[in-house]
Chain A
């Protein structure tokens, strides 16, 4: 089991943020390119939004399964955060960037709530899962900032709300998690996070094509793989939890030798990343 030193983690996150500032500098330097783009309007894809909602309402319900939990306090907090929703604006790049920011906002609030749970963020939690949730929440916050910075450069309004189509779905999932065991709760949170991460990854893969500006394509490209890695980790964690092998969720030396065969491939099931769960471009746009 990995032991996490909070002080060391903070240093790690600070260092990471510094590095990110350096890494994002070229993106910000080139972002002026955005304002020269063709700001063509795009009709709202209401049909896509409705399809997305229907599909993922079922998807998250199944990922959470019958296990029901997330503590009442945590669950209510998330419900509160998710209560308001977003809508649509004008240009295509602005809209897809706002939608991306709304997905990131949803992810941040979900991880934030999950970390209030003793079996995710508490002392009794698996060290790797806890650190993953902490680091991943921080990364999603940085992604939201980056997307909103790009929105502002285009003269748009920053999206500070969560994805509206997904809010009721996550809300329902959170409520259904109430009162279950730590093991079932951990599995439920992992399933919910997995669903959100995959939607993010698939959306950004699609957005690399939809975005008009090269700088936005580059931004999506720099994030989509990070979300895909989150998916890979969560798939592996989910498999190990389902196999009742939580002790193998560890970075301790020698762990790899003990992993079952399937753990080597469960994290990357497809040779080509799909986009059929991608959020419609205008779903999270500011109206």
Chain B
């Protein structure tokens, strides 16, 4: 497995595309069932008192049980997120006119608003990794190390699953799925991505996005009301943190959460949470 020649990625555009397609197939064949199994695992472990407690604490409960039941229908939804921009419309004013800046959508509050923000962050990560892979395929980032290509395709697949999980929560509560990237962060990411010319540059951009996502989940874990939502958030945060560790390693830095000066931290901060 690991005894192959350890040289830089020499793949062609076709090979990279094939790798991405393979990941997409894996996502559908293995990833989605695994996702629901993972979410089911979270729910299974939190059944009983905590779910009942959550139900009594809030008018709406993020009905993860129903989400699981509806999971099969979601398997067919795999479109890439739409990039948020001036033409994006969310929510509605009292007069019925849509507003471009209403995010999360005005009909969402509490845990469901968090779900929408989380989905938008995941969509932004999906967009960025997709764009990065496309740039790599086009030869715009120089030679791509094979481990980096694998990282990007795997992280992309996992972020898709995260977005789908949050959108499943929204759908189960009869709310529209969030298919756009986070409106607040999108312009900055677009601008930063335009400046990326190599793999370290892309890794640094990914590091920022992963950090924002991880810290947002961490911050929300103690604010969410329903146990199922807490469990879902808590099951995703460590995975984003693992992405961060690998990105640091790729960049030749200590592979763990750290201060701006590079000192390892025992407690993850939430200063970059949105």
Alpha-carbon separation in the docked complex, A230 to B264 (Å): 12
A23 on interface, CB distance cutoff 8 Å: yes
Alpha-carbon separation in the docked complex, A23 to B263 (Å): 13
Question: How does the 8 Å CB contact mask read for B185-221 relative to A, with 1 for contact and 0 for none?
Answer: 0000000000000010000000000000010011101
A208→B230 contact, CB < 8 A: yes
A20→B266 contact, CB < 8 A: yes
Neighbouring A residues of B6 by C-beta, 8 Å: 245, 248, 258-260
B169 on interface, CB distance cutoff 8 Å: no
Q: How large is the interface on A (under 10, 10 to 19, 20 to 34, 35 or more residues)?
A: 35 or more
A256→B147 contact, CB < 8 A: yes
A-B contact count (CB 8 A): 246
A223 on interface, CB distance cutoff 8 Å: yes
B239→A228 contact, CB < 8 A: yes
* Contact A264 B154, CB 8 Å, known A201-B238, A232-B246, A270-B34: yes
Residue of B nearest to A207 (CB): B234
State the main secondary structure of chain B at its contact with A: helix
Alpha-carbon separation in the docked complex, A279 to B242 (Å): 21
Question: How does the 8 Å CB contact mask read for B100-111 relative to A, with 1 for contact and 0 for none?
Answer: 000000000000
Neighbouring B residues of A225 by C-beta, 8 Å: 214, 218, 237-238, 240-241, 257, 268
B65 on interface, CB distance cutoff 8 Å: no
A83 on interface, CB distance cutoff 8 Å: no
* Contact A221 B245, CB 8 Å, known A230-B256, A251-B254, A264-B146: no
A47 on interface, CB distance cutoff 8 Å: no
* Contact A208 B221, CB 8 Å, known A135-B264, A139-B264: yes
A271→B266 contact, CB < 8 A: no
A260→B4 contact, CB < 8 A: yes
Neighbouring B residues of A236 by C-beta, 8 Å: 246, 249, 255
Residue of A16, A209, A210 touching B266 (CB-CB under 8 A) = A16
A177 on interface, CB distance cutoff 8 Å: no
Alpha-carbon separation in the docked complex, A255 to B253 (Å): 11
A180 on interface, CB distance cutoff 8 Å: no
Alpha-carbon separation in the docked complex, A54 to B245 (Å): 31
A67 on interface, CB distance cutoff 8 Å: no
A29 on interface, CB distance cutoff 8 Å: no
Q: Which of B246-274 contact A (CB under 8 A)?
A: 246, 249-257, 259, 261, 263-270
Question: How does the 8 Å CB contact mask read for B143-168 relative to A, with 1 for contact and 0 for none?
Answer: 10111111110110110011001000
Question: How does the 8 Å CB contact mask read for A254-287 relative to B, with 1 for contact and 0 for none?
Answer: 0111111111110110111111101000000000
B221→A228 contact, CB < 8 A: no
12 more contacts with CB within 8 A, not counting A233-B245, A258-B7, A260-B147, are A16-B259, A16-B264, A201-B238, A209-B45, A209-B227, A222-B218, A231-B242, A251-B253, A261-B150, A264-B150, A273-B235, A273-B237
Residues of chain A at the chain B interface (Cβ within 8 Å): 12, 15-16, 19-20, 23-24, 131-132, 135, 138-139, 142-143, 146, 201, 205-206, 208-210, 214-215, 217-218, 220-233, 236, 239-240, 242-245, 248, 251-253, 255-265, 267-268, 270-276, 278
